Amino acid sequence: MSRFENDWRRALRKGVVRLVMRYDDDGHVDIDEDGVPDECEEVGDAIWKHNQLVYALFTNYASLNLSMTEMTLNSFTKLVLDCELVQKNSQLCKARDFDVMFFEVNKAGRQVVREKIIIKENLATSSSATKPPTRGPRPGAPPAFLRQATTLLRDHSADSENTLTIVEFLVVIVRIAVQRYVQPGIFIDISDAVDELIGVVLQSKLGALDDKSHLSEPDHFRRGYCYSEPVCLVLKAHEALLHEIYDWIRAFECPLGVDPAKHLTLRVWMRATRALEVMNIDLSERDCLRCFSWSRTVVIDYKTLRGQYEATHLPFEGFMEALCRIAMQKALPTQAEMDEGGDRDAVAFIGRLSNVKAFLDERKRRWCSDEPVAGFEIRVKHIISIFKHSQRLYDQQKMSSGKSSQPQDDPPPPAGRRGGRRASVASAHLQQPTSSTAPSPAPARP
């Protein structure tokens, strides 16, 4: 609840209050005299009722552009098309309207940040002129308003001028409800329109798709598979080995003389899984990102320094959960198949296959597939052995080739990120993001 309260409070400042006061029939009523229209609380309650779907929806479509915190125009376009939100006969919900909505909400959010920086700068200047100096700042310390401005600008870092944060996504949801239901006169209360949009339209349209990952929540996997006694026993039995793998990935290609981060970052995770070729036909780049993203701790306020750190790093416990999620996705043999060939683990089984590519392609699983998995703890054990084998093989190849541990160049960004062509809803040649962007297979390694 606290996470949503923080996000909703910021969404109010970024445009929800103006929408309610302009379009709701009781938009100016403020009985409790807190300075916020009472209808805003009802709109917040309507979104809170479906908050798990909203957050899962944002995370799923943000992962299309390989991000955990920002949704590009490409990803937003895909959401609009999947949910069939475009109405050709509507004057307010045509394809171009969603493009305009995307950029206006983002621009309004950046304007709020700039205004706050100016206000804090003016306050800092006026107070320093009227108050006598007490104790001077430490040498080299930036002014107080500059430190505060840095905190505010954190909301819009890393190419955020062309992306939506979760806060801006909440504003977009309210705006879609207004243009789809309130302005045409179908509903007079924005809260009822929001409830109809999320609970009926989004839920029904996404539920009809073959890919149900839009409706899935991280806790479903935790309750169903991860937090079970057999899996915990396997993880406990391999705890020392898991720590060794975790430390190895944390320090992956870290330059000599530089201490690795205390916890695992997304950038290192993606590069390590790609180098170990765990990322393959049966585990796409997007799935690797989602395994990391869905294993993070829920942060109440990701705008604080500690909250931002916890939202972008995986501790050892989160790393174990990410491995469990990989175990759900990877193409692995059954126990009967291993017994038939006398294989001690999945590495030995895959090593004797004549066509590894065909096996991976046949056994790969769709993200959040409804197909039940029996003996999940055995799959977790296989994944641990595959990571250890791939790590050992990587180190051997590195030593034999005499390569240094300097980081390699990052791969080019996908379309919709920096340097890529953005696709809009109204574009005649829509460049839709794919749900699976796997690199070339490498049959020599499982």
pLDDT at site 385: 94
pLDDT at site 230: 93
Tell me, yes or no, whether 253 and 199 share the same domain.
no
Residues of the chain with pLDDT under 70: 1, 109-161, 208-216, 370, 372, 402-446
pLDDT one-digit tens code per residue, 248-258: 999 998 887 88
Of 167, 190, 212, the residue at which a domain comes to its end is: 212
pLDDT at site 403: 56
pLDDT at site 375: 85
> Per the domain annotation, does 413 fall within a domain?
no
Tell me, yes or no, whether 191 and 249 share the same domain.
no
> Per the domain annotation, does 291 fall within a domain?
yes
pLDDT at site 213: 67
Tell me, yes or no, whether 251 and 386 share the same domain.
yes
Residues sharing a CB contact under 8 Å with residue 215, sequence separation 6 or more, in sequence order: 53, 56, 203, 206, 207
Tell me, yes or no, whether 327 and 387 share the same domain.
yes
Query: ∠ CA(375), CA(238), CA(273), 5° rounding?
Result: 80
Domain extent for 31:
2-131+142-212
Nearest to 345 by CA among 225, 241, 321, 337: 337
pLDDT one-digit tens code per residue, 398-432: 888 865 444 444 554 444 444 444 556 554 333 44
**Distance between CA 264 and CA 247 in Å, rounded?**
9
pLDDT at site 215: 61
Tell me, yes or no, whether 201 and 297 share the same domain.
no
Tell me, yes or no, whether 311 and 380 share the same domain.
yes
User: What is 68-129 written as a DSSP string?
Assistant: SS-EEHHHHHHHHHHTT---TT-SSSSHHHHHHHHHHHHHHHHHHHHHHHHHHHHHHHHHHH
DSSP, res 264: E
pLDDT at site 253: 81
Tell me, yes or no, whether 229 and 374 share the same domain.
yes
Do 310 and 296 form a contact (C-beta atoms < 8 A)?
Answer: yes
Tell me, yes or no, whether 353 and 374 share the same domain.
yes
- Look at the chain and report how many structural domains it folds into: 2
DSSP, res 32: T
pLDDT one-digit tens code per residue, 268-317: 999 999 999 999 989 999 999 999 999 998 888 877 888 888 888 999 99
